[in-house]
Amino acid sequence: MPKITAIETTIPAGIMTNLVLIRVHTNAGIIGCGETYYTPHAIQALVHDWMAERLIGAEATDIESHWRFLYERCSAFGAPGAEMRALSAIDVALWDILGQECGKPVWQLLGGAVQKQVPIYNTCGGPGYGAVKQSSAEVASHPGWPGYGDEGAPGPLQDNWSSIHAAGDLAEEFVKEGIAGMKVWPFDRYAHRNGGLRMSATDIEAGMKPLREIRERVGNQIEIMIEGHAFFELPAALRLAEALREIQPFWLEDVLRVDSFSTLADFRRQSGMPIAASEMLLGRNAYLSLLQSQAADYIMVDPTWAGGISETRRIIEMAQAFNVPATMHDCTGPLTLFSGLHCASASANVVFQETVRAHIRTFYDRLIDRQPVIENGKIIPPNDPGLGTALLPELFTPGQDQYRKTEL
């Protein structure tokens, strides 16, 4: 069995600077790839200064043993947090190695393809959606979470701008591509005004305008998912939910913070709306509490945050015991998408794989050697061994400020 000989990390400057990319090398010449996102320098420190000592020289395919050991050490630090995200990236890379060693795609190692094609919805961000702002001037001029309140500017694949100012045209594009749903956040800019404490009738009417335009243009040919980015307090969220009833959203996602499951459960009961939550949860214990609280109709899981492929499959199957479908989160790098796709393909309990077409079509080819295959609104699990794609070697250049390597 292959043994781990080195771990490399890099932050892809000039592409998506909230990402940290990982390659795990083995003595068999197999290289496993992983990623996670946000606080990338902290992730690098955790991987090289803390996790590498366990992994270097160990059997790469002892995935569950490594997961358990690293998780238990994370727990001693009060994880989840950056520790769980670092563990997630490592876990994804180890599954990639196992698949390559066995000559099989990860979805086959997880039990085979229950879904040979997975329906997608498109999150309506632009090419830079979710990117970390690099200067204090940028932050000052765009209040709110990095990248999320910005409308961007008109132009090709500027779907955030179009979702506000040309929503009908955008919906028609998605329908022509066979995409089942579109996720939008037309109320974020109003939440920023008062910390989500209040939604005025004027603000609600303005936010409803693009949503009504979608329904008027394409009717019910596409589902509408409402993203809240956890910007709202309960009274404002309830008023918003009442207004949204007319457009029949597929779900309301993270309208509230997920730090109080009882409040989220109250919101679900009082609003009578389908609730999705939340990629911000890390690890199965958090999802178990969410499910036991009956606070969500759909669970949103991010494999590069929640604990890697290992933990994601446990979370998905646990949710099935509660009759709650899962949906796979993706809004950053390509390996998050590929990891979620493998988990979705191997499960009967995944309803959607999230995609961001502006990311796929603008910078994914600068990071990976094989692109995701999407046909008529469905994403096709790859048949190549492992994840079915690999990070470009030229991203990992010794001497770069953002590059680190630990080896035997």
> How does pLDDT run across 220-255, given as a tens digit for each residue?
999 999 999 999 999 999 999 999 999 999 999 999
**DSSP per residue over 387-400, as a string?**
TS--B-GGG--TT-
The lowest-confidence range among 36-45, 79-88, 110-119 is 79-88
Number of Cβ within a 10 Å radius of residue 157: 18
> How does pLDDT run across 93-107, given as a tens digit for each residue?
999 999 999 999 999
SS3 3: strand
pLDDT at residue number 155: 82
Alpha-carbon span 136 to 140, nearest angstrom: 6
Q: Which residue type, as a one-letter code, is found at position 403?
A: Y
- In terms of Cα–Cα distance, which of 11, 30, 7, 31 is closest to 21? 11
Domain locations along the chain: 4-103+392-407, 109-380
**In the chain, what percentage of residues exceed pLDDT 70?**
95
pLDDT over 50 (residue 142): no
120: alpha, beta or left? (left if phi > 0; alpha if psi -120 to 50): beta
> How does pLDDT run across 153-198, given as a tens digit for each residue?
788 899 999 999 999 999 999 999 999 999 999 999 999 888 999 9
pLDDT at residue number 79: 73
Q: For the chain, what is the mean pLDDT? A: 94
> How does pLDDT run across 51-66, given as a tens digit for each residue?
999 999 999 999 999 9
pLDDT over 50 (residue 81): yes
Residue with tokens 């890379």: 93
pLDDT over 50 (residue 139): no
Q: Which residue type, as a one-letter code, is found at position 239?
A: R
Q: Please report which confidence band the pLDDT of residue 132 belongs to, taking 50, 70 and 90 as the band edges.
A: low
Mean pLDDT of 376-399: 97
> How does pLDDT run across 1-50, given as a tens digit for each residue?
899 999 999 999 889 999 999 999 999 999 999 999 999 999 999 999 99
Report CA torsion sign: 98, 107, 284, 82: positive
Pick the residue with more confidence: 310 or 408? 310
Residue with tokens 């890099």: 10
User: Between β-strands 19-26 and 298-301, what pairing exists: parallel, antiparallel or unpaired?
Assistant: unpaired
Mean pLDDT of 269-275: 99
Report CA torsion sign: 335, 339, 344, 349: negative
As a residue count, the chain comes to 408
**Distances 130 to 18, 254, 261, 299, 371 between C-alpha atoms, Å:** 8, 16, 25, 21, 20
**Distances 42 to 29, 49, 385 between C-alpha atoms, Å:** 28, 10, 30
pLDDT over 50 (residue 135): no
CATH of domain 4-103+392-407: 3.30.390.10
SS3 378: strand
> How does pLDDT run across 187-207, given as a tens digit for each residue?
999 998 889 999 999 999 999
Domain 109-380 - what CATH class?
alpha beta
- In terms of Cα–Cα distance, which of 62, 23, 27, 63 is closest to 44? 23
Residue with tokens 């690098």: 44
Contact criterion met (CB below 8 Å) for 280 and 258: yes
Alpha-carbon span 40 to 18, nearest angstrom: 6
Q: Please report which confidence band the pLDDT of residue 146 belongs to, taking 50, 70 and 90 as the band edges.
A: very low
pLDDT over 90 (residue 136): no
pLDDT at residue number 138: 43
pTM for the full model? 0.95
Alpha-carbon span 253 to 327, nearest angstrom: 11
Q: Where are the beta strands (DSSP E) in 97-192?
A: 118-123, 181-184
